[in-house]
Chains A and B, each alone.
Chain A
């Protein structure tokens, strides 16, 4: 059973969120339950501790005694599977840091087309509730967490004898070998070269004649070898 957990000290908001959930869930045949909390108490703490249940939390950031972010931190002490959405009166760009660190699905402003936005995000949450979202690994005492969706490709850097994880905005040198990394990747990653694996969801085009792969940010790499060409053709545009 899927649990929606609403945490807000304003009864009106809780009601509204409840309505959005009902609107979203009625057409589906998913069994679900909605739980409401106006403050962080013992029963809320026990709910967080409960294992083996799929949960989607909708937390208000501005609660006097124990804020939504406090609850999110409490959840993330042990649980990295549940989905967390945060409601806030004013969204600031720097909240992205919290979003990343606490793996929050999204922040929703209470004043900006709030019910529709919540509906859209909950729809996404429903989809994402059974998909592992982040690539986590440790290399040379440094822990990394990178969204799978953000990765374009991973290549072996033979000169530096390490592997490079290339995302939309950054590249991370990692001292794990490509095979070790590939063992951790989901199905949407396919090998295109002895020294390269790509995220097929982020591929724009592939020029099989010139062996050039173009990603959706227009970055190009020529890491397509004969050995993997057939497999790539089958999987990327299937």
Chain B
């Protein structure tokens, strides 16, 4: 084997790997930097060395670790990013290799020619270049780019995604034999089938998990605004109260002398009492930290959309009810309430009667949030808990699956769903005792 045979493929492989990684990370690699040049040369040497020394199985593991090491130092974004980028780059090359080798096979079959890449260095180099381009093209496919983007975004926060990727990596390593140099026999087809099957399973599992994570993140973003929103609501409530007091004072000064003024003032005072202020007053006793803001944000303006909302916040509810709660538990509670409120609003909107009622009350040991809403007839009540089940179209229906996951992870929370005549009733029960952990 000549030096070109040894270094050429590694050089081309590295060039495309680097290009791909910088496209994925959206950051150019600075080759004026001595450290980067050194790392690049080192990587070429390592990969060439692996071709000489290791068999297929060890070579894939070794190459992957080299890339991981390289990305870690060259991109300087931590081990998690280095791992995910190495994985994606490896995966894209792997897929391109499969496609390219299949194409070669069909060409050889159609024109009845023998293509032996191993013995033809030029053809081997051209094949590597083609695979490299193909990997970049695959990455540019909108759907794949989107999947990769979500994967990178959610990767660090879920153990599940990490585990799935490591399993996938192991499978690649186990089934990987250089497809280009591999005869197109039964083993090849079997490997292809296994890879395709595991990719599909991993894709479906990750898609579902990522949807849950995305939804959870969406709520997290919302909650970060809620505390400020709540403060604004309290200010608003005080201003309205003050405004009403002023009106009552003016009414007193008038002392029924001017009947028109009296009527006008009465109508304004009445309007204020039955509008938003009543809704805010009802929620006065709710614990601080987001619940009040969330409820007002989700239900406060529904009257304008023709939905009839009624709330009953019991006097048994104390402002400090959640004082001993761990902040993450409180966030989980808000996430559940957010999902239940969103679902109730959507279902009520589609129903004929358009009614929502919210009850919040405490019993001896529990804090209860009960949400009842009218609903349209087209929901399958027995599937409602399942991930992806939704009456609202494609790529929806992760809310209740998220609720299910949160409840599963936290024994102090319980969610019950019931159908009572024309109402869908969801009850969140929060155990108040020993909630400090």
Contacts and interface: CB of A to CB of B under 8 A. Distances in A.
B403 to A, nearest CB: 14
B191 interface: no
A100 B416 contact: no
A98 B363 contact: no
B423 to A, nearest CB: 5
Contacts of B382: 139-140, 142, 173, 175
Contacts of A141: 385
Contacts, number: 98
Contact of B416 (A65, A67, A139, A143): A143
A172 B421 contact: no
A94 B355 contact: yes
Contacts of B23: none
Interface stretch (B115-123, B134-142, B255-263, B312-320): B312-320
B425 A101 contact: yes
A62 B233 CA distance: 24
Contacts of B356: 94, 97
Contacts of B370: 101
Contacts of A47: none
Interface string B336-364: 00000000000000000101110101010
A interface SS class: mixed
Contact of A97 (B316, B355, B417, B419): B355
A74 to B, nearest CB: 8
A100 B422 contact: yes
Nearest to B425: A101
B372 interface: yes
B435 to A, nearest CB: 21
Interface in A101-139: 101, 139
A67 B380 contact: no
Given A97-B357, A98-B359, A100-B372, A67 B422 contact: no
Contacts of A69: 312, 314, 359
B315 A98 contact: no
A68 B309 CA distance: 19
B183 interface: no
Which of A93, A142, A147 has the most CB atoms of chain B within a 10 A radius of its CB?
Answer: A142
Interface in B379-401: 380-382, 384-385
B36 interface: no
B381 A142 contact: yes
Given A77-B363, A98-B357, A144 B418 contact: yes
B222 interface: no
B422 A170 contact: yes
Interface in A162-197: 167, 169-173, 175
Given A100-B420, A101-B372, A145-B420, A93 B355 contact: yes
A77 B316 CA distance: 15
A1 to B, nearest CB: 29
A170 B314 CA distance: 31
Contact of B316 (A70, A93, A98, A172): A70
A64 interface: yes
B419 A142 contact: yes
Contact of B355 (A70, A96, A144): A96
9 smallest CB-CB distances across A and B, nearest first, come from: A97-B357, A94-B310, A97-B372, A140-B382, A94-B308, A143-B418, A94-B355, A145-B420, A100-B420
10 contacts: A67-B314, A69-B359, A70-B361, A93-B308, A94-B308, A94-B355, A94-B357, A142-B417, A146-B419, A171-B377
